[in-house]
Structure 1
Amino acid sequence: MKSYIAKPADVQRKWYIVDAEGKTLGRLATEIATVLRGKNKVTFTPHVDGGDFVVVVNAEKVVLTGKKLEQKMYRYHTGYVGGLVEIPYKEMMAKKPEEVVAHAVSGMLPKNKLRSRMMTRLRVFAGPNHDHAAQNPEVLNFK
């Protein structure tokens, strides 16, 4: 019996919409990463970008558990000496709630050339409105 290997030209992409209101950030990000990667399809092939589009709304209403609200920090380095920048989670949610969800999803995708292609199919909106109604996105139900 031969194994099925999907080809990039054969990939059928669908659009899904996710309402992040009241959902835990990490659990939400794992489900989104699964769909972006294409692991929810029977035609999943690890080296082929076979995932779907995901639109996330209400990113500003995502929640964290425990003391992470006060303790979680986002860090990056500017490249200069002493250039470590730390931004608290509360400040990040106030300024860019879309980046919080995108950062969590990005960390759950494979660290290779496919990640940037998968991330282009993720659309995150802070509020309930989005501009992808023409694509007729289906509501993505979690387990």
Structure 2
Amino acid sequence: MLKNIHPALGADVLHALRSMGHGDTLVVSDTNFPTDSVGRQTVIGRPLSMANLSAPQAIAAILSVLPLDTPLQNSACRMEVMGAPDEAPDVQCEVQAEIDRAEGKPCPMYGIERFAFYDLAKKAYCVISTGETRFYGCFLLTKGVIPPAGA
């Protein structure tokens, strides 16, 4: 255990989050996402796991240490529902609430078409699989910066 670190953040996930740089993206995926095949194509070359958590729980833990990029960028993205791109399933609404809570203000997610999402996921820094069983529980987060003290 570490002080002031969310207990759901294991060593591998913490190492990946710390190693990422400004503008790097990570995938938080549901149980139906091709985690292994896509994860092997990412920067770290293997999938990571937070399998005991739902997507909203995993994102809350991740955002307890990871700054999101500025709202001017696509810093938080969701996989669009096929045939209904503007529809936001419950899992996406719950994740949106966690993002807004972590940022302290509304930070709307952008939708990405399913197959475009897969293509972007292959270029990500890492894929973190969750125990999320609901459809469309897949998200991209882009790392931002932490300004120096007094800035």
> TM-score w.r.t. structure 2 length?
0.30
Q: Which has the higher contact order (CA 8 A, sep 6+)?
A: 2
Larger proportion of helix: 1
Greater radius of gyration (CA) = 1
TM-score of the two chains, using structure 1 as the length reference: 0.31
